[in-house]
Structure 1
Amino acid sequence: MKVLSLILLAASSLLPALRLTAQPPPISAPTLPVSEIQPGMQGEWKTVVSGSQIETFRFEVLGTARNFTGPQRDIIIARALDESQIVSGPVAGMSGSPCFIDGKLVGAYAYGYSWPKEQTIIGITPIADMLETFEKEAQRQPDKARQAGYPGYHGEASHWQPRSGQEQMSGIPLDSVLKPLPSPLMVSGISADTLAAFSEEFARRGVEPMRAPIGTTSDLSATDIQTGSPVAGVLMTGDFQFAGVGTVTWREGDQVLAFGHPFFATGDDNMPMAPAEIITVIQSMPGSFKLSNVGPVVGTIYQDRLTAIAGAVGAPPPMTEVSIHVHGPGTAERTFSSQLYQSRQWSPLITALALLESLNNTMEASAEQTFYVHVKMDVAGFGPLEFDHVATGPSGAVGTAFRLMRDYDLLLNNPFGMAEVKSIAVDIKIADEWVRSSLYSIQILSGELHPGDNLELAVTLNNYLEERTRHRFNIPIPPGTAGEKLTVFVGDASAADKLDRSGVLNTADSLAGIVNYLRTGRSNDRLYVKVLREARGLNVNGRRLGELPASVRALLDSERSPTPVTDNRTVTLWETSLQVPGVFDGEYTLPAHIR
């Protein structure tokens, strides 16, 4: 028994290594390994160029290039023989087209030279390398947030930059690079101006979106996903469309292998998968591409790796419901509804794009408008997370969209786990004028002040039409402040947040701390009045605390503290706010000497 136990123990210690070196799962189709492929062999690849009809195109093998996409990652070099391929050259969306020699599956047409087209040189990813993608699913780990994605910890940008089939190789002549055929991120319902506002975000991800009249169709089903047919990775569907279309290399039961190169190189994934149909191939000198319609979501892309994407037909992954309601005097009331891929990398950006498009490009859009925006996010385990923001002036709408993107990004990219955002509801009220207020003057009207007195404060505001309004505040002087110099603060949301939120984010020690921090954001259509005291306060788990008893402060300061803390030099003794028309900006402080 002891010998058997030792054998079992030794075997169990080898399991991780055995898993990593296990053979790819078998498929029913006969395959041809790279070692048996010789120059001069001829074969065919299958793909769709119109509708759902799978067509066949011929190729001739020129040779094999070793270590092409990495060590021990070879590629088969071939020449396309059909006249139509000379005209179109490599076609975006053809990635993954299955290649056969003598009826045996060789791999996927996945690479090509963009120029000159008459070369018709293509690259084929070997099927053995693609099948390894299935192995990665067995090794999938629970979803973990990246520490580097949390700006309060390392100061790095929260977006990581994957290598993808879209990545551009700047500085290298196009005709010298055998590049992945793009599986272009096609976008419909979003204007060129809106995409341009987020161009740096797309560049950071190595993706250049393509505006195209990509449509939806309910005529397709899961049975339309088959070897040689188009397949789509769906980032958003509904009134706004974001999807990338490639070709299925092989389907075995419910398992699907496609593309022959990465889509976004995200590794473990839960991207919605859908069938697609091809409207036509757009032939272009810079690069030809397939124009597509996308069907309903019928499964999940669960791996996005170096040599392929892998998915399964069946239950779709969870998606976030996004609803944007637009209304206002003289505005036709309408609601835009979409379903969103849940992704650290893409969800915040795509939601911000949809919001900005809704703000700027309705039929009622005009040069001078103010948008009153209310956002409600349903975060699993935490209840609704809400904020209000007013956008006015030439850059107001862009600022609102970027704020939503930053807050959403923080929920998904942090060290404590990716929050599950079930739904996002945005309400937009439009006013056909610029509405903005600024601080003109403040004045303390009271005389000598003592604890328990009221400090009378007059605040004068100026709007963009140079019309002034005067507001009075009665501020109670707290007990226990005799002999102190307090500070009266009057300012906008940004200035008040700077006082109260500085250093707070760094103290979050859980996802709850991140949510706490986001809940403290103020609305920019309010004027804030605060009474401040110079005293040592502490920030704990995403919250700013006031003055604490010495014993509590000593515990939180000590090495035994259960949570990280940071100091703040002022504490708020009293605060109120006043809603003003439109956006308010300005900041001023006055000393208040207490007798």
Structure 2
Amino acid sequence: MKKVLLLLSAFGLASLTTAQAQVPTPTRIMPVKELRTGMHGTTYTVLQGSEIVPLDTEILGVAENGLGPGYDLIIGKLVDPKSAVVEAVHGMSGSPLYVDGRLVGALSRRLTQFEKDGHCGFTPIEDMLRIEGPDRKGTFASRPAKPAPASGEPPFAVAGLIRGTMGAASGGSNGSSGFATLGVPLSITGLSAELTGKLLRTFGLEASGWVPVSGGSRSEAGLAKAELKPGSPVAAVLMTGDVGMAGTGTLTWREGNRIVAFGHPMMGVGRSAWGMAPAEIITTIPSYLYPHKLSNTGPIVGTIAQDRLSAVGGVIGQMPPTAPYRIARTEEGKALSPLQGTFIADPDYAPLLLTSAIAAAVASGNEEGRAIYLRARGQVTFRNLPPLDLGGVYSGENGDLMAALSSFVSPLQALYRQNWLKPEVAALDLAVEMEQAPRVWTIRDARLETPEVSLGTGDRRVFVEVVLREVNKGIEERRRIEVPLPAALKGGEIRVRVSGADPIDDAAFSRNVASLNDAAGLVALLNRRNLEHRNDRVYVRLETDAPGRTVSGTEMPSLPPSVLAVMGGTDGGPSTSTAALSQAVWAEGSADLPGVVAGTKVLRLTITP
């Protein structure tokens, strides 16, 4: 109770102070070698609102090479009453430390996960200023910086590894007592933090140091015109609009329109192109597990152009490439307001951001645990590829939204997993229809009206009667599906496969994807998969075993042995890719159902001359 009162009184004193703490200007730098144990300095940060407050800080020493060869870590202790409860919190990353009026470094680490006595780590400003500028070689700052090791900045793989292994304080579970990088509170709007956490795990970003927290976004003139200066909150923006996503830290150094911040990586990707925005701290939440700043994010005013081991750096006034998203929504036949905004057109993060926008549309307006029926149809356009069609039908429990998202965005994920070309996304335009009642139809039974067909009769048709049962209500419907017999079929035993779209498309995609040799071919294959079959139809297909080849995504069944031998030799060629094909699909028929069709039945048909 005493600590809580101390925290409240500290915030009260800060709010009564009419003038903000003045960060020393012009910026002069103190090298690490001049630091001595027992020195006292001031760390500048914002605990609430936009007011920069000073925090008394004691220098305890320097861990030489503490972050890697040539990268020291300054060890200090926050000894100010204003930080007695919160200590070093996630979101303080980048808070500048001054000693004797000179800039020493930036708050960047807690020394252990459940640190409770103010011990913390500071990245030396000399290392932060070593990151390269986006438009010139050399150091980011205009002044001489500490000489870099012979190997220069660690490469992306190393930086990412270091970022991930220092995530104990960011929600990691390794329990180690190493230098734990302060996490980046990922301020989320329009989407629950819980669902965002699931998305991060799906995309392998659970150890990124991003911790989703509910936040807000503001475009008022006051926040839009907020001055970005040392000690003020700054956000790395990934999405804006009805769905927002931004990582919040603190600005360390500014010279003209160039800034450095955080004192550690956001993701460690090297060169980046994320939005830069001012932020407003709603409050600082004390917690032994995850103390963090809760923030509102302002409009984008520049670009975070570098994401390195020692800092992120950017340029104010230089806007990043973005792409618009628009998702029309209908629930129970009633039109809802569309979700609109922009996202950073970064190929490495576009799949996550696109999926997040779709997740917000699917999740909005539905109560947790309610059964739902979803239909989506739309398109993702690219600057360097043909458009990709997205869509499908899903029915299930609202609590299992990840399954619905997977069914809608799997083509997008497949496209971004290929290595031929990095897609440059231009826009997302989607329409989502939602209903409360589930609609799943299972194939209960299927039979051939005539299991043996004689071609001598002249009737080259096959009729299949399919019985489907709706899972929720137990009602049944029947469909009589006609499939023509092609002239090329002369006789023998034929497989008759009755199923929904997914088994057909999954098998075809697996067969054909190995034959592709460029990203455009993959887009064409994915679009065929999306357009040829819908999962609210039941399909009947005639199949036989027939050796052939798939050439650039096009199936060529029943090839003569001589042709197969020649085509088999083209595998791995520079311009033509082929893959083995073991079956032929001769004909297909289908029928509509008011919902998703699940299940498969295989029948046998005998054809006689």
| TM-score bin (small chain) | 0.7 to 0.9
Give aligned pairs, total.
549
Matched residue SS, 1:400: helix
Among 384, 388, 409, the alignment partner of 1:385 is 388
Matched residue SS, 1:132: coil
CA distance in 2, matches of 1:365, 1:332: 21
Among 440, 448, 453, the alignment partner of 1:448 is 453
Residue 481 of structure 1: CA displacement? 2.3
Question: Amino acid of the residue matched to residue 463 of structure 1?
Answer: E
Change over 3 Å in CA distance of 1:194–1:123 after alignment to 2: closer
Residue 247 of structure 1: CA displacement? 0.9
Change over 3 Å in CA distance of 1:542–1:306 after alignment to 2: farther
CA distance in 2, matches of 1:165, 1:101: 30
CA distance in 2, matches of 1:139, 1:487: 65
What residue number does 2:285 align with? 282
Contact 1:348–1:404 (CA under 8 A) maintained in structure 2: no
What residue number does 2:220 align with? 218
What residue number does 1:538 align with? 549
CA distance in 1, matches of 2:382, 2:110: 44
Contact 1:366–1:432 (CA under 8 A) maintained in structure 2: no
CA distance in 1, matches of 2:511, 2:225: 50
* 1:39-67 deviations in Å (ceiling 9; x for gaps): 23332222222332333333232211111
Residue 295 of structure 1: CA displacement? 0.9
What residue number does 1:11 align with? none
Change over 3 Å in CA distance of 1:470–1:285 after alignment to 2: closer
Which one is further off, 574-583 or 210-219? 210-219
Query: C-alpha root-mean-square deviation of aligned residues, in Å?
Result: 3.0
Check if 1:178 corresponds to 2:191.
Answer: no
Change over 3 Å in CA distance of 1:341–1:551 after alignment to 2: farther
Residue 397 of structure 1: CA displacement? 3.6
CA distance in 2, matches of 1:162, 1:361: 37
Matched residue SS, 2:132: helix
Contact 2:184–2:210 (CA under 8 A) maintained in structure 1: no
CA distance in 1, matches of 2:284, 2:371: 41
Matched residue SS, 1:393: strand
1:287-326 → structure 2 map (5 Å cutoff): 287-326=290-329
1:88-487 → structure 2 map (5 Å cutoff): 88-113=86-111, 119-134=117-132, 163-164=163-164, 167-168=167-168, 173=175, 176-191=177-192, 194-195=195-196, 197-198=198-199, 200-201=201-202, 204-206=205-207, 207=209, 209-219=211-221, 220-221=223-224, 224-329=227-332, 331=334, 333-362=336-365, 367-394=370-397, 397-446=401-450, 447-450=452-455, 453-464=460-471, 465-487=473-495
What residue number does 2:597 align with? 584
Contact 2:454–2:607 (CA under 8 A) maintained in structure 1: yes
1:549-564 → structure 2 map (5 Å cutoff): 553-559=564-570, 561=573, 562-564=575-577
CA distance in 2, matches of 1:116, 1:532: 62
Change over 3 Å in CA distance of 1:298–1:194 after alignment to 2: same
Contact 2:265–2:308 (CA under 8 A) maintained in structure 1: yes
What residue number does 1:506 align with? 514
CA distance in 1, matches of 2:206, 2:116: 31
* 1:504-538 deviations in Å (ceiling 9; x for gaps): 22333211122123223342112122122321222
Matched residue SS, 2:314: strand
Which one is further off, 440-449 or 265-274? 440-449
Residue 486 of structure 1: CA displacement? 2.3
Contact 1:165–1:261 (CA under 8 A) maintained in structure 2: no
CA distance in 2, matches of 1:163, 1:542: 40
CA distance in 2, matches of 1:361, 1:83: 43
Contact 1:162–1:205 (CA under 8 A) maintained in structure 2: no
Matched residue SS, 1:479: coil
Residue 203 of structure 1: CA displacement? 6.3
Residue 137 of structure 1: CA displacement? 6.8
> Scaled by the length of structure 1, what TM-score is found?
0.84
Question: Amino acid of the residue matched to residue 89 of structure 1?
Answer: E
Change over 3 Å in CA distance of 1:172–1:579 after alignment to 2: closer
1:33-112 → structure 2 map (5 Å cutoff): 33-112=31-110
Change over 3 Å in CA distance of 1:81–1:480 after alignment to 2: closer
CA distance in 1, matches of 2:79, 2:400: 54
Change over 3 Å in CA distance of 1:474–1:282 after alignment to 2: closer
What residue number does 1:569 align with? 582
Contact 1:300–1:311 (CA under 8 A) maintained in structure 2: yes
Change over 3 Å in CA distance of 1:208–1:330 after alignment to 2: same
CA distance in 2, matches of 1:495, 1:199: 28
Residue 502 of structure 1: CA displacement? 2.1
Matched residue SS, 1:416: coil
* 1:383-403 deviations in Å (ceiling 9; x for gaps): 432233222122664312123
CA distance in 2, matches of 1:193, 1:78: 34
* 1:409-428 deviations in Å (ceiling 9; x for gaps): 23223211221222222212
Matched residue SS, 2:454: coil
Change over 3 Å in CA distance of 1:404–1:268 after alignment to 2: farther
Change over 3 Å in CA distance of 1:112–1:398 after alignment to 2: closer
CA distance in 1, matches of 2:114, 2:598: 56
CA distance in 1, matches of 2:391, 2:454: 36
Question: Amino acid of the residue matched to residue 410 of structure 1?
Answer: A
Contact 1:379–1:420 (CA under 8 A) maintained in structure 2: yes
Residue 196 of structure 1: CA displacement? 5.8
Contact 1:187–1:209 (CA under 8 A) maintained in structure 2: no
CA distance in 2, matches of 1:295, 1:461: 53
CA distance in 2, matches of 1:404, 1:549: 39
Contact 2:260–2:311 (CA under 8 A) maintained in structure 1: yes
Change over 3 Å in CA distance of 1:34–1:324 after alignment to 2: same
What residue number does 1:7 align with? none
Residue 449 of structure 1: CA displacement? 2.7
Among 523, 527, 548, the alignment partner of 1:515 is 523
Question: Amino acid of the residue matched to residue 218 of structure 2?
Answer: T
Residue 450 of structure 1: CA displacement? 1.9
CA distance in 2, matches of 1:115, 1:193: 22
Matched residue SS, 2:453: coil
* 1:406-448 deviations in Å (ceiling 9; x for gaps): 3322322321122122222221222332212121222222453
Check if 1:491 corresponds to 2:499.
Answer: yes
Residue 584 of structure 1: CA displacement? 0.2
* 1:140-186 deviations in Å (ceiling 9; x for gaps): 9xxxxxxxxxxxxxxxxxxx977259723756557x34322222112
Residue 352 of structure 1: CA displacement? 2.8
Question: Amino acid of the residue matched to residue 220 of structure 2?
Answer: S
Residue 187 of structure 1: CA displacement? 1.8
Which one is further off, 212-221 or 542-551? 542-551
Contact 1:75–1:123 (CA under 8 A) maintained in structure 2: yes
Contact 1:113–1:122 (CA under 8 A) maintained in structure 2: yes
Structure 1 residue runs of 5 or longer lacking an equivalent are 1-26, 141-159
CA distance in 2, matches of 1:266, 1:487: 51
CA distance in 1, matches of 2:47, 2:286: 11
* 1:223-246 deviations in Å (ceiling 9; x for gaps): 622222211011211112211111
CA distance in 1, matches of 2:175, 2:445: 61
Matched residue SS, 1:496: helix
Check if 1:527 corresponds to 2:529.
Answer: no
Contact 2:185–2:213 (CA under 8 A) maintained in structure 1: no
What residue number does 2:15 align with? none
Change over 3 Å in CA distance of 1:442–1:201 after alignment to 2: closer
Matched residue SS, 1:415: coil
Matched residue SS, 2:463: strand
CA distance in 1, matches of 2:320, 2:567: 42
